Structure 1
């Protein structure tokens, strides 16, 4: 069921993003007087679920049956369909090839522009609807849990982040928090009663990619918030407010460690050490066959002092713009790692994208992920790769410089090479997903 929910969210998100992307091409084409032959939501091999042809514009609008995006076919253009029959006739005034270089450039850039605008609108709407949650890093009293790679440069489990370069107590709920630690020159932490400054090496990201692990995560204490009737923990002596600090004598610093330790004792009676205001207590509890106690955990909002920054319509606009530009900057900055051995191994396809979505539907998460995917779609499409929008834009810029277009034969050949490269890239990315799912 969890997988089905993720798949449905992914399909809905991609349908929105591709529709807006193609709407960008369509809108620019209509604005500059280029005829659009077809505008489809979803693909329609063999048949369409619905279609209608406008008598005024001649455009066929349709709904395909294969929910993997959509397309916009512009007259007089060699695109991924590789339909060159119409190119043999004399150019018509309403065809793409008859338009000025600037008009063609804007038509090709329309999809990217609309995806960026969509991300901005979504981020602004998220700010307006839900605000921004802020938890300053120095308020996370339990500190962080670090990977072996982060520990190798000086971080220690339980370190409380005080400063990242020139930023004092950054917001740990900001999606950029972990990447800021990786890219930092130095990080100041509180370790017990002492303050330490850790120098972060310039190749920290490559080290993390090579080790195929993250940088770290927030330490969340395992605190009981509710004991449902009939749960395995009923009658064990556990109380609301208990913090589990050890399982079977094994010290557990945070929630993830408790969960892992309980999983090792599933279906068994296990000794727990819990912390209460009056000190430590030991008791035994039954773990079910899935490694759970059947209790309700205290949410992060009840453990750490989280603030919510609210926005009105006017203040949500710059907030949305800031989040969009930061997302673009972060993603573009990380693209260079794709061309490294370590980064290439981390590439993923539809499976990786699907895992971005939570296993239970939540509108805030859905729109936040959709906005980020819109940024990814925009950035990837603007890359100067044949068969992508960026490839067409590059050819138009070359034409503007040399003052004559490339031949149809050259364009077809380049498009073919680009399509082959894209197919190989897609196979590699989705192959990585399969390998990680079944062989790791």
Structure 2
């Protein structure tokens, strides 16, 4: 973890917290409700900075878990109930009509949602969008073992995820983990298969969330293991393997499975040597037959030229520009897509088979995700994503979160009867204890990962 990573994280969280709390603060002021405190971070026992302006104490706490506004006459995380024992004053939260209280409570998540929309629209307009187009994988995809367990096969071309067109590799790798089914073009036919949860578990366990499939590329030798079978047989850097015992080998992902069945056996490789760029449809490569013995691990002892894979990958890159009129609705679509993805991820987070909960990261894990040099495009993309995440989390109907207050207020609006004050206080206490326990668990998990080097 570097200071630059920490700086980017704190700056992002500070922006989000301040704007989220402004979402509560502004409607409270508009409805003439007294706001006693406005804090960035929490301030148990003491604060790093504070000043009082117009009856509101503004400050910065020392505990960087978020922030808060303390609204008079409201049961909140401070659990200060002394004022609530007195008759309600006109400027208190509890004296306001239910519809005003609902707007005050929804203000934070509303700001978070529109902030994400604004950031995504700006990024689309000013930076455009870069992505790898699934349709441009001309030879299909190369799939790692974990991806194969999910149901994918090398050579597949991804068409749809849960019946919806899947054009972007970057989102497809994530969406497939949450999907029920995937449609691919396989051997010239459309095939739809159910995603195997064992494969999802394998992808998560092997930290291959963005790497379980990629471009296919030919087998070109880059380096040889000293005294390995390939070197002993006279293979050279730059040689391209195109066949084994007369059977065609077009791609690297085809080589391993064939060699695994030929352990400790003598084979004949078809090798293109001294190849040069194709001119007038003709290549200068010579085809040679090379006798080699496969070792007991099913390997030949060479490393493939992965720069070819990178070149194949670059061919699928698309840079899409947006006009201002296009960027605004595109920003909304991106915001909704992120929100949908975050909701769907609970399918694997709380699944005992996929054990997604083991991959949940807290602040330390998130900080380590930040780039080690300032990357403003990444920073704003992360801020937009996290803004959506905060909006979603705060809407969960748990006492202690905005969603808990919203549920109680809606109950009052539907039934015409306010929830008893004692019930609110007890529910808030339970919610705060639960959230604090969850924080301790997440921080503890982060610290354990940090100590054991599993980040």
Same fold (TM over 0.5): yes
Shift of 1:154: 4.0
Q: Which moved more, 1:149-158 or 1:72-81?
A: 149-158
Kindly tell me the number of residue pairs found equivalent between the two proteins.
382
Structure 1 position 218 matched with structure 2 position 231:
no
| Aligned with 1:330 (options 318, 330, 341) | 341
**Residues 220 and 300, structure 1, Cα contact 8 Å, conserved in 2:** no
Question: Unmatched 5+ residue regions in structure 1?
Answer: 223-241, 258-272, 282-294
Q: How does 1:119-130 map to 2 (within 5 A)?
A: 119-130=116-127
Counterpart-to-counterpart distance in 1, 2:446 and 2:240 = 36
Secondary structure (helix, strand or coil) at the match of 1:64 reads strand
**C-alpha displacement of 1:45:** 4.0
Moved more, 381-390 or 64-73: 64-73
Q: Which residue of 2 aligns with 1:209?
A: 201
The structure 1 residue matched to 2:58, chosen from 57, 61, 69, is 61
181, 187, 190: which one aligns with 1:185 = 181
Q: Equivalent residue for 2:381?
A: 368
Aligned counterpart, 2:43: 44
1:6·1:355 contact (CA, 8 Å) conserved in 2? yes
- TM-align CA RMSD: 3.7
Residues 118 and 92 (structure 1), Cα distance of their counterparts in 2 relative to 1, 3 Å cut: same
Deviates more, 1:27-36 or 1:108-117: 27-36
Q: How far is the alpha carbon of 1:94 from its aligned partner? A: 0.8
Does 2:101 align with 1:107? Answer: no
Whether the aligned pair in 2 keeps the contact of 1:155 and 1:198 (CA below 8 Å) is: no
Please identify, of 92-101 and 135-144, the stretch whose mean Cα deviation from structure 2 is larger.
135-144
User: Aligned with 2:51: secondary structure?
Assistant: strand
Write the mapping of 1:297-312 to structure 2, written as runs, cut at 5 A: 303-312=314-323
CA contact (8 A) 2:177 2:200 kept: no
Q: Deviations over 1:393-423 (max 9, x none)?
A: 1111222233222232222211111111112
Q: Residue 123 of structure 1 contacts residue 321 of structure 1 at CA under 8 Å; is this kept in 2?
A: yes
> Cα distance, 1:189 vs. partner?
3.5
Contact in 1 for aligned 2:161/2:175 (Cα 8 Å): no
Q: Does 1:96 align with 2:89?
A: no
Greater alpha carbon shift after TM alignment, 332-341 vs 359-368: 332-341
- Residues 217 and 308 in structure 2, CA contact (< 8 A), matched pair in contact too: no
Q: Deviations over 1:264-304 (max 9, x none)?
A: xxxxxxxxx998646599xxxxxxxxxxxxx9999779931
Deviates more, 1:210-219 or 1:382-391: 210-219
Equivalent pair of 2:166/2:172 in contact (CA under 8 Å): no
Contact in 2 for aligned 1:39/1:72 (Cα 8 Å): yes
- Aligned mates of 1:274, 1:416 — CA distance in 2: 75
TM-score, length-scaled by structure 2 = 0.72
CA contact (8 A) 1:120 1:324 kept: yes
Instruction: Note if contact 2:134-2:316 (Cα within 8 Å) is conserved in structure 1.
Output: no
Shifted more, 395-404 versus 147-156: the winner is 147-156
Which of these two proteins has the greater Rg computed from alpha carbons? 2
Change (3 A) 1:206 1:15: farther
Answer yes or no: is 1:118 the counterpart of 2:115.
Answer: yes
Cα distance change of structure 1 residues 280 and 76 upon mapping to structure 2, 3 Å threshold: farther
Distance 1:7 1:244 in 2: 47
- Structure 1 residue 406 corresponds to structure 2 residue 419: yes
Q: Does 1:382 align with 2:395?
A: yes
Give 1:330 deviation, angstroms: 1.8
- Establish whether residue 19 from structure 1 lines up as the match of residue 18 from structure 2: yes
Residues 406-415 or 14-23, more deviating: 406-415
Is the contact between residue 161 and residue 183 of structure 2 (CA under 8 Å) also seen in structure 1? yes
Q: Does 1:172 align with 2:172?
A: no
Task: Specify whether residues 406 and 165 from structure 1 end up closer, same or farther in structure 2 by C-alpha distance, changes over 3 A only.
Answer: closer
Offset of 1:172 from its aligned partner? 2.1
Tell me how far apart the structure 2 counterparts of residues 220 and 3 of structure 1 sit (CA, whole Å): 36
Partner of 2:406: 393
Confirm or deny: 8 A CA contact 2:394 2:402 kept in the other structure: yes
Note the C-alpha offset of 1:315. Answer: 1.9
In structure 1, C-alpha distance between the alignment counterparts of 2:391 and 2:385, rounded to whole Å: 10
- Residue 391 of structure 1 deviates from its aligned partner by 0.7
Q: TM-score w.r.t. structure 1 length?
A: 0.75
**Contact kept in structure 1, 2:93 and 2:101, CA below 8 Å:** yes
Q: CA deviation at 1:131?
A: 0.8
1:15, 1:68 within 8 Å by CA — same for their partners in 2? no
Distance 1:153 1:430 in 2: 31
